[in-house]
Amino acid sequence: MYINFLTSSSFVEFPSSSRDLFLCVNILIIIGGGREIKMGGRINGFDWVKGKIVGSGSFGSVHLAMNRSTGGLFVAKTAHSDAGHEALQNEVNILNTLKNSSSSSSQSPSPYIIQCLGTEYDHQDNNNKLHVFMEYMAGGSLADALHKFGGSFDEHVVRLYTRQILLGLYHLHQQGIVHCDLKCKNVLLSSSGTVKLADFGCAKRIGKDSHTNKSPSSGGTPLWMAPEVLLLRNGKEERVVDFAAADIWSLGCTVIEMATGRPPWVHDDLVSISNPMSAMFKIACGDGIPQFPSHFSQEGFDFLRRCLVRDPNKRSTAKDLLNHPFLVANTLTYHKPYCNASPAAVLDVHQFEDDYDDDGEEKLPSPAGRNKFSFGNEFVSPQVKTIWQQEDSASGNHWITIRSW
């Protein structure tokens, strides 16, 4: 049996034996300009064309790309530094772990987590440059959408996006994985209104017990990080941290970001602090929490209260929050695209626009227990005297999205 490989200049047939296959791969690297393409753990070559740049950062770049054989669109992420390569390789490992877990358990992949389509090592000039192929999300990041569409989302839209983000987090935590850098820049939007968790450069596989005393090696973004993670990261205390609970804190910060268009801890009435370390210290060692959006409903206030608890042992879990009235009201609307893309749209590529599939969603906790949530009349709005608009994140600057619509 032979495996067919079509290069730009020749057609190669691979023998199925491992020894001969290894020899042919080495030959292919020579005749193919030094490119060794790996897709889904198998050698499955294809010609692809690099298009315009859609994202860039201090560690790498993201290009729109097209499969010459099928016309399918995807993005190619390329690292340009050792730190960027490490983060990108970590992202591939995490996404492959999720993929393998779904395959072994006969479960469908989560529709709320970005899919890795494959990797390619470019051996030209002996630099072993890593390209990672990801599904293309035409809407860019939620941070892009906030910038382009008025600076904040209506609460109804915040509920829609928050539920999908939480479904993605729930799936991650069920697989013993924590994201460690959740924010609007790392949540991507499709043209149909589906959002997906992305940028897993800081993510860690913790196991079913999400407690550890090790900080994420690539860091995170301090304004979105839980206080206990900042303490651990800066060596202020020796403690075991529940990183799944830390993801929930970051979720609360992301909800505030969606509702206000600004990072958490940043308000017009606060004094600007130019020293990031001072801001980190106050977040980690103070007793306040980010200010809530003043226009939010009581359900929204209560949801944030349960996310932004400084004691991680008292924070709600993803499983608990999926039953919260903030997310379950008018549940049917959360599972249908609220914006139908035109079938004639240039970027409407079916294989990269995964609409919600009732059969594909994993079993979730029953909403029967949601009556345990009650709302108080008090509005948690502590006076926080810090502001910091700079981000200090090794992964946060990986991919500054510049997508156009």
Coil, strand or helix: which one is 5?
strand
Residue 251 burial (10 A CB sphere; 0-12, 13-18, 19+): buried
Backbone angles phi, psi at 380, to 5 degrees: -75, 110
The answer to the question of residue 26 being in a domain is no
pLDDT at site 122: 76
The answer to the question of residue 5 being in a domain is no
In this model, does residue 375 exceed pLDDT 50? no
360 confidence band (pLDDT: 50, 70, 90): very low
Longest dimension (CA), the chain: 72
* Residues 291 and 170 placed together within one structural domain of the fold: yes
- The one-character DSSP state at 141 is B
What is the arithmetic mean of pLDDT over 215-238?
A: 75
Give the chain's mean pLDDT.
74
Q: Which of 93, 112, 135 is the last residue of a domain?
A: 135
Tokens standing for residue 363:
């079993």
Q: Which of 84, 108, 135 is the last residue of a domain?
A: 135
pLDDT digits (tens, 9 = 90+) for 104-148: 766 788 999 999 999 988 766 566 788 999 999 999 999 999 999
Could you give the CA distance from residue 22 to residue 31 in angstroms, rounded to a whole number? 15
Could you give the CA distance from residue 326 to residue 157 in angstroms, rounded to a whole number? 12
pLDDT at site 238: 56
* Residues 310 and 190 placed together within one structural domain of the fold: yes
Helix axes 298-307, 243-260, angle to 10 degrees: 150
Q: Are 188 and 144 in contact (CB under 8 A)?
A: no
pLDDT at site 295: 95
The answer to the question of residue 404 being in a domain is no
Calculate the alpha carbon distances from 13 to 16, 44, 172 in Å. 9, 12, 39
| CB neighbour burial string for 37-52, b if at least 16 within 10 angstroms, e if fewer | beeeeebebbebeeee
pLDDT digits (tens, 9 = 90+) for 29-38: 333 444 444 4
* Residues 81 and 57 placed together within one structural domain of the fold: yes
* Residues 274 and 370 placed together within one structural domain of the fold: yes
Could you give the CA distance from residue 61 to residue 84 in angstroms, rounded to a whole number? 10
Backbone angles phi, psi at 231, to 5 degrees: -60, -45
Total domains in the chain come to: 2
The answer to the question of residue 250 being in a domain is yes
252 confidence band (pLDDT: 50, 70, 90): very high
* Residues 152 and 105 placed together within one structural domain of the fold: no
Task: Name the strand (E) or helix (H) holding 49.
Answer: strand 48-56
Angle at 166 between CA 97 and CA 41, to 5 degrees: 15
Q: Which residues are catalytic?
A: 181
Instruction: Of 303-312, 359-368, 393-402, give the lowest mean pLDDT range.
Output: 393-402
Query: Can you say which residues are annotated as belonging to the binding site for ATP?
Result: 77
Could you give the CA distance from residue 226 to residue 234 in angstroms, rounded to a whole number? 13
Q: Measure the N-to-C terminal CA separation of the chain; round to a whole number of Å.
A: 45
User: Which of 187, 260, 251, 180 lies closest to 221, judged by CA?
Assistant: 180
pLDDT digits (tens, 9 = 90+) for 58-89: 678 999 999 988 999 999 999 988 888 999 99
pLDDT at site 220: 78
* Residues 291 and 208 placed together within one structural domain of the fold: yes
* Residues 79 and 165 placed together within one structural domain of the fold: no
- Which range is most confident: 145-149, 263-267, 348-352, 401-405? 145-149
The answer to the question of residue 304 being in a domain is yes
Which position has the higher pLDDT, 334 or 150? 150
Determine if residue 219 is left, alpha or beta; phi over 0 gives left, psi from -120 to 50 gives alpha, anything else beta. Answer: left
Report the CATH number at residue 174: 1.10.510.10
Q: Are 361 and 174 in contact (CB under 8 A)?
A: no
What is the arithmetic mean of pLDDT over 229-243?
A: 75
Q: Are 219 and 395 in contact (CB under 8 A)?
A: yes
* Residues 152 and 112 placed together within one structural domain of the fold: no
Domain residues for the domain of 273 are: 142-392
Coil, strand or helix: which one is 258?
helix
* Residues 61 and 172 placed together within one structural domain of the fold: no
Q: Which of 135, 153, 183 is the last residue of a domain?
A: 135
Could you give the CA distance from residue 234 to residue 179 in angstroms, rounded to a whole number? 19
293 confidence band (pLDDT: 50, 70, 90): very high
* Residues 215 and 295 placed together within one structural domain of the fold: yes
Report the CATH number at residue 59: 3.30.200.20
The answer to the question of residue 204 being in a domain is yes
pLDDT at site 55: 86
Could you give the CA distance from residue 73 to residue 123 in angstroms, rounded to a whole number? 24
Which position has the higher pLDDT, 354 or 230? 230
Which position has the higher pLDDT, 330 or 338? 330
The answer to the question of residue 29 being in a domain is no
Could you give the CA distance from residue 224 to residue 183 in angstroms, rounded to a whole number? 7
Could you give the CA distance from residue 349 to residue 241 in angstroms, rounded to a whole number? 41
The answer to the question of residue 238 being in a domain is yes
* Residues 258 and 130 placed together within one structural domain of the fold: no
* Residues 232 and 351 placed together within one structural domain of the fold: yes
User: Which of 43, 46, 39 lies closest to 119, judged by CA?
Assistant: 39
Tokens standing for residue 242:
């529940």
What is the arithmetic mean of pLDDT over 317-345?
A: 66
